[in-house]
Amino acid sequence: MLRKLTAALASAVLLAGLTACGSSSASDDPDAPLKVAVNPVPHGDILKYVKDDLAGKAGLKLEIVTFSDYQQPNTALKEGQVTANYFQHVPFMEEFEKKSGTKLAFVAPVHLEPLGVYSKKVKSLQAVPQGATVAVPNDPANEGRSLKLLADNGLITLKPDAPTSATERDVASNPKGLKFKPLKAAQLPRSLEDVDLSVINGNYAIEAGLAPNRDALAAEKAEGNPYANGIVTLPEDKDDPRVKKLVQLLQGPEVKKFVEDKYKGSVLIAS
């Protein structure tokens, strides 16, 4: 009986050791591919350009993991499925940290996707009717961002102490009696048929064939904008040499030219 217990204990220890080895971070191996979670546009396009045209010469192996929403890239990072993600700005990351209790590290900014106000029913913000319905992103960081854009363009005013995660409760004045309709960010382009205005995130606008610099009734400016999208990791991975190499490539002149040529002002390099 003692020999059986000893053998069972030894097997359990060996299995635990194998499990631990299998779950170790890919950052333990500097030659392993760097797995990065992205949204398809423009993040996936930009990263694919880096992978196809720049990474090999820099000695970096990249594996791109694509998600179509704003929740799964951080979940994949939290669960260790990827070492980095590239889809979010600092205010969004901070909201995720509050809700999840997970600490993340914003390593470096890369680009800005200007938030825009779009409509199929009015030609200008001056023509917005009384009681108009406005679709806005339903995540706290981008809802507050959309309200700030509306305030910057005179449709509403916000309370002086309104946070970056402002909601309708932080609206100080609403002279046109706008009705706000929070939706998932990915649904906003489709909402254009049903609402008077829709405040759409740049990546989903581009996917829908909209260009902030051409089609938006109002769009964010790049100067002093805190919403640059960048590379995010867990704190223990922020100094991973592969992550640093990726940041160097993303902030280099080749990517700048690629973004300018492909997106023609609909995506802006972070300054």
pTM above 0.85, yes or no: no
CA distance 179 to 156: 11
**Got the DSSP string for 207-228?**
HTT--HHHH-SEE--STT-S--
Residue 8 scores a pLDDT above 80 = no
Residue 129 scores a pLDDT above 70 = yes
Lowest mean pLDDT among 14-23, 127-136, 143-152, 220-229: 14-23
Using CA atoms, how far residue 156 sits from 175, 186, 243, in Å, is: 7, 24, 41
pLDDT of res. 12: 40
Identical fold, 34-114+226-269 and 116-219:
yes
pLDDT of res. 213: 87
Residue 146 scores a pLDDT above 60 = yes
pLDDT in tens, 153-210: 999 999 999 998 999 999 999 999 999 999 999 999 999 999 999 999 999 999 999 9
What integer best gives the mean pLDDT of the chain? 90
Residue 267 scores a pLDDT above 90 = yes
Strand duo 105-112 + 268-269: pairing: antiparallel
Superfamily for domain range 116-219: Periplasmic binding protein-like II (3.40.190.10)
pLDDT of res. 19: 34
- Third-level CATH fold of 34-114+226-269: D-Maltodextrin-Binding Protein; domain 2 (3.40.190)
pLDDT of res. 31: 82
